């Protein structure tokens, strides 16, 4: 297991190219199960979860050819309909295969993903939605068994809105007979990206990007080979902007749709950063210690939960008291105890962290317990005095491409230690 060693105290400055969005790439890869025809995808991020997804899809007969960040993907025929527990247990997004497998092959067996360090993370909305589409669903021996000759369009209401739930049901409904309406659908841009990709492939979907998505089922997707470029990763971009702010630096990220980070920019501006946006980039310049600011996460268009841990690191060094309220996942404050070991002054009550800013953090050995929480510790390490050693970096590698190289390009001092005993 690798560790990252961060020597703190460098001001980050410069420009950074943002990778393709993991959370857009994953469902788009899965959608290959819906049709026998090939697609070529560009800007696919070379991150751990995407590699796990290749492994999972290969179980069903999907073939992938990889050249740099370009991927050719094809599922000529479905060879299997059962997902292995070992893969599902390492990546919750594996549940996304349920809808496409049953839509194309009539049957799917996927182990229940179980909880994870950020909360219990149920899949009831995926299951209820498939039942509404006419599938028989049984839970047996820890797995979800789904069967349907052909799914039928239905009216589905999500409460709460779920990103992968919406994606799963949208993919299932694409080949269903009749019209499906998903109300309170997730509005995250990655959901809209999947929908627009499916539309290119011949699906009939309207309303994506809004809370009501309407899908008119088709017999089959089209047979044209599709080229698609995966959108830039707004969470990765936001992470580097926060890294710039915590080191009182000057960082520019290149992102095709900078408005996807309006929420973060508003918060960073309130914390004292100067923000300049251009067509395809955002620059954050922080000339002084951040000021305190309150942050409350929520489904899109609210502040993304995937940037909350990184913001907590920034606010732990801010001037004043900030309240960070996590409303999406019940246990997404696990990085806080590690931040406190670095000298942060934070108390937790329920889903809220009260962060009393301190003027310095000190480097320490810390442990990543999830993807974004691990990244928050790296960010804290960048601004801490001395050395921070982050163990269990595999969590971070699930979602960030070459994180130490990108940070070092900006002037950070981060290196990786391969450590079999870490
Ligand atoms: C996706 C993202 C993840 C992000 C999250 C919220 C991917 C691969 N992952 O995760 O990075 O943090 O959205 O933006 O895209 N819920 C239920 N029942 C369900 C499903 C969800 O109650 O069947 C609840 C969850 O417990 C949570 C809320 O819905 O409280 C939102 O979760 P959801 O949007 O499903 O997260 P994911 O799709 O797993």
Write down the residue that tokens 């960030």 correspond to: 400
Q: What angle do CA 103, 200, 167 make, to 5 degrees?
A: 45
- Contact between 351 and 330 under an 8 Å Cβ cutoff? The reply is yes
pLDDT value at residue 118: 62
- The Å distance, Cα 319 to ligand 1 centre, comes to 33
Name the residue with the closest Cα to ligand 1, atom 4.
Answer: 306
Name the residue with the closest Cα to ligand 1, atom 15.
Answer: 23
How far apart, in whole angstroms, are the C-alpha atoms of residue 332 and residue 117? Answer: 8
User: Using a 6 Å cutoff on CB, does residue 159 contact ligand 1?
Assistant: no
How far apart, in whole angstroms, are the C-alpha atoms of residue 370 and residue 334? Answer: 8
pLDDT value at residue 263: 96
**What distance lies between CA 2 and its chain's CA centroid?**
22
**281-302 average pLDDT score:** 97
Q: What angle do CA 279, 282, 285 make, to 5 degrees?
A: 145
Which DSSP category does 81 fall into?
-
**In testing the pocket of ligand 1, which one of 90, 121, 185, 370 has its CB within 8 Å of the most ligand atoms?**
121
Q: Tens of pLDDT along 151-160?
A: 999 999 999 9
Q: Provide the H-helix boundaries in 189-233.
A: 189-200
198-207, 293-302, 412-421: which range is least confident on average? Answer: 412-421
The helix (H) or strand (E) run that includes residue 42 is: strand 39-42
How far apart, in whole angstroms, are the C-alpha atoms of residue 421 and residue 404? Answer: 21
50: confidence class by pLDDT, cuts 50, 70, 90: very high
Catalytic-labelled residue, pool 39, 116, 300, 402: 116
- The Å distance, Cα 59 to ligand 1 centre, comes to 25
Q: Tens of pLDDT along 340-381?
A: 999 999 999 999 999 999 999 999 999 999 999 999 999 999
pLDDT value at residue 338: 96
398: confidence class by pLDDT, cuts 50, 70, 90: very high
- The Å distance, Cα 330 to ligand 1 centre, comes to 11
For residue 194, pLDDT beyond 90:
yes
pLDDT value at residue 41: 97
Beta-carbon count within 10 A of 164 CB? 26
Name the residue with the closest Cα to ligand 1, atom 26.
Answer: 121
User: Using a 6 Å cutoff on CB, does residue 47 contact ligand 1?
Assistant: no
Q: Tens of pLDDT along 51-86?
A: 999 999 999 999 999 998 999 999 999 999 999 999
For residue 421, pLDDT beyond 90:
no
Write down the residue that tokens 């969590």 correspond to: 395
How far apart, in whole angstroms, are the C-alpha atoms of residue 93 and residue 198? Answer: 18
* Residue 146, CA atoms < 13 Å, CB-side half-sphere: 35
pLDDT value at residue 28: 98
pLDDT value at residue 1: 83
User: Using a 6 Å cutoff on CB, does residue 121 contact ligand 1?
Assistant: yes
**pTM metric for this prediction:** 0.97
Instruction: Provide, rounded to the nearest whole percent, the portion of the chain with pLDDT above 90.
Output: 92
- Looking at the DSSP assignment, which residues form a beta bridge with residue 107? 147
User: Using a 6 Å cutoff on CB, does residue 298 contact ligand 1?
Assistant: no
**Overall residue count recorded for the chain in this entry:** 422
Output the CA torsion sign for 97, 102, 105, 111.
positive
pLDDT value at residue 331: 81
Name the residue with the closest Cα to ligand 1, atom 32.
Answer: 162
pLDDT value at residue 422: 46
Q: What mean pLDDT value characterizes the chain? A: 95
pLDDT value at residue 32: 97
Domains of the chain: 2-19+232-418 (3.65.10.10), 22-229 (3.65.10.10)
User: Using a 6 Å cutoff on CB, does residue 331 contact ligand 1?
Assistant: no
User: Using a 6 Å cutoff on CB, does residue 92 contact ligand 1?
Assistant: yes
Name the residue with the closest Cα to ligand 1, atom 12.
Answer: 306
- Say whether 39 is catalytic: no
**373-401 average pLDDT score:** 97
Q: Tens of pLDDT along 258-280?
A: 999 999 999 999 999 999 999 89
How far apart, in whole angstroms, are the C-alpha atoms of residue 94 and residue 96? Answer: 5
For residue 115, pLDDT beyond 60:
no
User: Using a 6 Å cutoff on CB, does residue 411 contact ligand 1?
Assistant: no
How far apart, in whole angstroms, are the C-alpha atoms of residue 405 and residue 419? Answer: 19
**Residue 81 φ/ψ region, left for φ over 0, alpha for ψ in the -120 to 50 degree band, beta for the rest:** alpha
Q: Is it true that the peptide bond before 301 is cis, omega within 30 degrees of 0?
A: yes
SS3 content of the chain, % helix, strand, coil (to 5): 35, 30, 35
- The Å distance, Cα 92 to ligand 1 centre, comes to 10
User: Using a 6 Å cutoff on CB, does residue 166 contact ligand 1?
Assistant: no
> CA Rg, the chain, in Å?
21
- The Å distance, Cα 337 to ligand 1 centre, comes to 23
330: confidence class by pLDDT, cuts 50, 70, 90: confident
Atom of ligand 1 nearest to the CA of 93: 8
115-129, 150-164, 227-241, 388-402: which range is least confident on average? Answer: 115-129
Pairing of strands 204-206, 212-216: antiparallel
The tokens for 358 are 């301190």
Could you give the maximum distance between any two Cα atoms of the chain, in Å? 63
């Amino acid at each position: 297991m690798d560790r990252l060693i961060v020597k703190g105290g460098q001001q980050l400055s410069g420009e950074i190219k943002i990778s393709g969005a993991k959370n857009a790439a994953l469902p788009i890869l899965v959608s290959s199960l819906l049709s026998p025809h090939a697609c070529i995808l560009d800007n696919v991020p070379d991150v751990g979860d995407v590699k796990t997804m290749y492994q999972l899809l290969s179980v069903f007969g999907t073939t992938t050819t990889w050249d740099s960040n370009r991927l050719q993907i094809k599922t000529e025929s479905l060879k299997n309909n059962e997902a292995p527990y070992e893969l599902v247990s390492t990546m919750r997004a594996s549940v996304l295969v349920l809808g496409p497998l049953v839509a194309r092959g009539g049957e799917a067996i996927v182990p229940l993903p179980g909880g994870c360090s950020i909360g219990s993370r149920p899949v009831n909305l995926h299951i209820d939605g498939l039942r509404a589409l006419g599938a028989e669903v049984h839970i047996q021996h820890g797995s979800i068994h789904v069967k349907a000759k052909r799914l039928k369009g239905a009216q589905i209401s999500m409460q709460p809105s779920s990103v992968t739930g919406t994606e799963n049901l949208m993919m299932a409904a694409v080949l269903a007979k009749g019209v499906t309406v998903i109300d309170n659908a997730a509005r995250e841009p990655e959901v809209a990206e999947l929908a627009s990709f499916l539309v290119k492939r011949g699906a009939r979907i309207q309303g994506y990007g809004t809370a009501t998505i309407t899908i008119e089922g088709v017999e089959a997707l089209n047979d044209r080979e599709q080229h698609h470029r995966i959108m830039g990763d707004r969470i990765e971009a936001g992470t580097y902007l926060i890294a710039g702010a915590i080191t009182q630096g000057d960082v520019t990220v290149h992102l095709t749709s900078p408005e996807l980070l309006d929420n973060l920019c508003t918060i960073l501006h309130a914390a004292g950063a100067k923000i300049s946006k251009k067509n395809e980039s955002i620059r954050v310049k922080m000339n002084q210690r951040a000021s305190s600011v309150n942050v409350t996460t929520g489904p899109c268009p609210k502040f993304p939960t995937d940037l909350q841990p990184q913001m907590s690191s920034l606010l732990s060094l801010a001037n004043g008291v900030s309240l960070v309220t996590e409303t999406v996942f019940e246990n997404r404050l696990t990085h806080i105890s590690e931040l406190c070991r670095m000298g942060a002054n934070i108390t937790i009550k329920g889903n809220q962290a009260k962060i009393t800013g301190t003027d310095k953090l000190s480097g320490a050995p810390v442990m990543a317990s999830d993807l974004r929480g691990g990244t928050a510790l790296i960010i804290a390490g960048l601004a801490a005095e001395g050395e921070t050693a982050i163990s269990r970096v595999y969590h971070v590698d699930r979602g960030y491409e070459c994180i130490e190289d990108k940070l070092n390009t900006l002037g950070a001092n981060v290196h990786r230690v391969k450590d079999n005993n870490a």
